Structure 1
């Protein structure tokens, strides 16, 4: 079941078209990354689905409920830089957040602090927190009321490698516990490590969407290690599904259209042809390389 569906969302700021008919679906239980260069419409899209902005055209549904008719308390969100009282403790900041938002209860505060690994610092002032801790406190605020969905805009923005690793670990933990997470990010390596699905935007247009593996797999590339590359190339040329064979150091890269290469069949063909194989593996393209392929044209 999809928790969120967008149908041809348009949004303009004067002459600038921020979103141009974006349609996508977010399946329940996924970590869904929304990617794009600066100005691609990521934050505008998140603002619309959180009812902060209104779309000019199109509609969206949460849990099969049109537009803003969904239960807002079912969505935890972090859209901007964490904004808390610097002179108050983590607990007291969350008490204020709970009172204003009406989400969750005071009894839940210590529980969400445990979830984000801040319980031991619950009585420390916000001003003493590192950037990673501040970001985790903001996520704790979003977790009040135990929402089934979290929407996070650049959750690792401005963090050092330690802070990024902390947020990555937290996102994985929340996902394993069943929370659907929608996040916008420009850190492609981090997205590849935590996301199950991605959508890529460019100047307000949806370029592609799907599972991470689907988006990456624009072609099949099989790494083949053999003792005699010349003999292997001669044996493999003309085999069904193979479009090209390239040399890459001590490996051959066997290429074909997406879904065309059968490693088991290629292994059997080489064996029957007397070709000894010492390495056989499908190569996975990095998300960063695929992203630039899709957005550079």
Structure 2
């Protein structure tokens, strides 16, 4: 089942078009990353699907129903900077959030604090929290009402490496518990480590979207080596489906048409031609490389 479907969403601010006929589908059970540089339209998109902003045109559906009709308790959200009372404790801040939003009940506060690993600091004032702890408290607030989907805008923004690792692990944990996560980020490394699916935004346009592994690769790349790479280099140029072959340090990089790389067949082909391979592995293209390939045009 798809939890979210956007159809031709367009949004402008005066002469600036923030989103241009954006369409995408978010499958249930995924960690779906909305990736793009600052100003690409990520926050605008999240604000529209959370009914904070209205689109100029287009539509969206939550769980197959028009966005305006969906029960908001099914969706927890964190947009931009967490907003809590600095002089109140974690538990009292969540009581205020629960009372104002009407989402969940007081009994869920303890569960939410345990989920984000803040229960032992439940009586501490918000002002004593690190940035990572503040972000985790904001996610705890989003968990009130036990939503099926969490929408997180730049959840690791501004955090140190420890804080980033904490949020990364928490997102994985929440996904394993059955939550679908939709997160916007400009940090390519975090999206690559956390997300199962990704959509890349550039100046309000969806450049590509899909499973992370599919987006990363527009071709298959194999690392390969033998005792002498020169005859291997000459031999592999003749193998069907090979687009290019080049030397990189001690390995040859074999570029094949997408879906055409067959390590078993290549190993057999080399052996039958008198070359015994010492190394053969599939290389996954880094998201950073693929991102710049897609957005540089």
Q: State the TM-score bracket (shorter-chain normalisation).
A: over 0.9
* Counterpart position of 1:243: 243
| Structure 2 Cα separation of the partners of residues 186 and 287 of structure 1 | 12
Are 1:68 and 2:71 matched, yes or no?
no
Extract unaligned runs of 5+ from structure 2: none
* Counterpart position of 1:84: 84
Q: What pairs with 1:41-60 in structure 2 (closer than 5 Å)?
A: 41-60=41-60
Q: TM-score, normalised by structure 2?
A: 0.99
| Structure 2 Cα separation of the partners of residues 208 and 269 of structure 1 | 35
TM-aligned CA deviation for residue 67 of structure 1 = 2.1
* Counterpart position of 2:19: 19
TM-aligned CA deviation for residue 14 of structure 1 = 0.7
TM-aligned CA deviation for residue 294 of structure 1 = 1.0
* Counterpart position of 1:118: 118
TM-aligned CA deviation for residue 293 of structure 1 = 1.2
Q: What pairs with 1:141-220 in structure 2 (closer than 5 Å)?
A: 141-220=141-220
| Structure 2 Cα separation of the partners of residues 46 and 267 of structure 1 | 48
What SS does the aligned partner of 2:7 have? strand
CA deviation string 1:28-79 (max 9, x = no partner)? 0000000111111000000000000000010000001112111111000000
Are 1:293 and 2:296 matched, yes or no?
no
What SS does the aligned partner of 1:23 have? strand
The 4+ residue runs of structure 1 with deviation greater than 6 A are none
* Counterpart position of 1:272: 272
Aligned residue pairs, count: 297
TM-aligned CA deviation for residue 145 of structure 1 = 0.9
Are 1:97 and 2:97 matched, yes or no?
yes
CA deviation string 1:179-207 (max 9, x = no partner)? 00000001111111110000000000100
Extract unaligned runs of 5+ from structure 1: none
What SS does the aligned partner of 2:242 have? coil
Q: TM-score, normalised by structure 1?
A: 0.99
